[in-house]
């Protein structure tokens, strides 16, 4: 028995089926292509925005960088976008400046939700970094009379997530000094921040800012200890702090022998001498010690004598006396007491030599 061949109608329907299947395949491929093209176009656009935002961030234009990253987030929510926003938010908090008429709180309120979201999605060091900066944001708002806030609770939570977290320790040390808490406790926090080996420059800047903000005698002694430690560690002490150390400590105590004694006993005399010579010795721009060669040399002679370098001390004391005599026809900015100490030292050391 033979098989019947398809008639014309059957062949027509088969042709229509094949054409429909082909068109459906083409339509599917087109949709996939369009989706892929859109994905890559958005990815490229986001990458360009992130790169532009990083340039703005590097130029400290944090507000513009934030707006750029927000545009990237609106195009595509991606981990790299969230990470960039978090990093920017943390840096903005640490280096925050507000124009006249604006507030810290406005920036903190705008940026904090990104940090909070980051905390919920992170662990370990990253989580601790974010928590510590949320605390710093609360400190900034606290300064604007939002006294119901407790920044230290964030610092403590950060240390639970990462016990060696540099930001939590540094911010906590600053917070203790800000509230006139125990200086040894604050110093211990800064020590732990330094030991973390992260963000060393930030830690020192924050430590100096805290100590200079409340520059009593205890804080000034601690400033000397920090400077001596930095010199031992071959850390760079920024020029602005060199100038302030000379003004706050060496200049301010020029008329008070008791205060000078406190500073001389604040740290090991050899460390003090090495630090002083590093900050104000030969080759250092005299502007950092306000062109006060007489006072600089008076302190140097005093340190040399205390360090047992009597010959060098005697020579330096004599330089002080000579310089003072050369300026005797000008209004003196130095106390008679310093010159009296110098003359007494010359007599005393001359007998020994």
Instruction: Please report, for the chain, the start and end positions of each structural domain, with discontinuous segments joined by +.
Output: 68-199
| pLDDT tens digits, one per residue of 49-96 | 899 999 999 999 999 999 999 999 999 888 999 999 999 999 999 999
The pLDDT score that the predictor gives to residue 14 is 56
Is the CATH code 3.40.50 the one for domain 68-199?
A: no
Q: What is the value of pTM for the model shown? A: 0.84
pLDDT band of residue 15 (cuts 50, 70, 90) is low
- Give residue-wise pLDDT tens across range 295-326: 999 999 999 999 999 999 999 999 999 988 87
Q: Does residue 219 contact residue 249 with C-beta atoms inside 8 Å? A: no
Lowest mean pLDDT among 2-6, 109-113, 213-217: 2-6
Model confidence at 280, in pLDDT bands (50, 70, 90)? very high
Confidence at residue 28, expressed as pLDDT on a 0 to 100 scale: 61
């Amino acid at each position: 028995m033979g098989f019947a061949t398809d008639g014309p109608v059957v062949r027509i329907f088969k042709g229509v089926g094949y054409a429909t299947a082909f068109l459906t395949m083409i339509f599917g491929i087109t949709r996939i292509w369009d989706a892929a093209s859109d994905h890559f176009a958005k990815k490229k656009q986001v990458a360009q925005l992130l790169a532009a935002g990083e340039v703005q961030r590097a130029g400290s234009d944090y507000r513009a960088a934030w707006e750029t990253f927000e545009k990237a987030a609106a195009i595509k929510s991606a981990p790299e976008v969230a990470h960039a926003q978090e990093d920017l938010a943390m840096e903005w908090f640490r280096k925050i400046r507000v124009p006249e008429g604006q507030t810290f709180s406005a920036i903190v309120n705008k940026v904090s939700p990104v940090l909070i979201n980051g905390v919920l999605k992170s662990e370990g060091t990253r989580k601790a970094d974010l928590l510590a900066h949320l605390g710093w944001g609360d400190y900034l708002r606290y300064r604007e009379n939002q006294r119901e806030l407790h920044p230290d609770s964030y610092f403590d939570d950060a240390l639970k997530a990462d016990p060696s977290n540099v930001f939590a320790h540094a911010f906590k040390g600053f917070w203790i000094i800000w509230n006139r808490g125990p200086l040894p406790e604050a110093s211990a926090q800064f020590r732990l921040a330094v030991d973390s080996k992260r963000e060393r420059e930030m830690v020192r800047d924050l430590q100096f800012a805290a100590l200079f903000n409340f520059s009593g005698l205890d804080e000034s002694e601690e400033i000397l200890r920090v400077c001596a430690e930095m010199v031992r560690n071959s850390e760079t002490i920024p020029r602005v702090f060199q100038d302030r150390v000379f003004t706050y400590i060496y200049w301010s105590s020029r008329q008070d022998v008791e205060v000078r004694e406190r500073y001389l006993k604040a740290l090991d005399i050899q460390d003090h001498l090495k630090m002083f010579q590093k900050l104000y010795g030969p080759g250092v721009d005299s502007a950092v010690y306000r062109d006060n060669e007489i006072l600089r040399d008076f302190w140097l002679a005093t340190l040399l004598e205390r360090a047992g370098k009597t010959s060098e001390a005697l020579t330096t004391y004599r330089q002080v006396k000579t310089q003072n005599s050369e300026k005797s026809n000008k209004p003196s900015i130095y106390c008679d007491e310093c010159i009296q100490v110098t003359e007494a030292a010359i007599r005393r050391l001359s007998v020994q030599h």
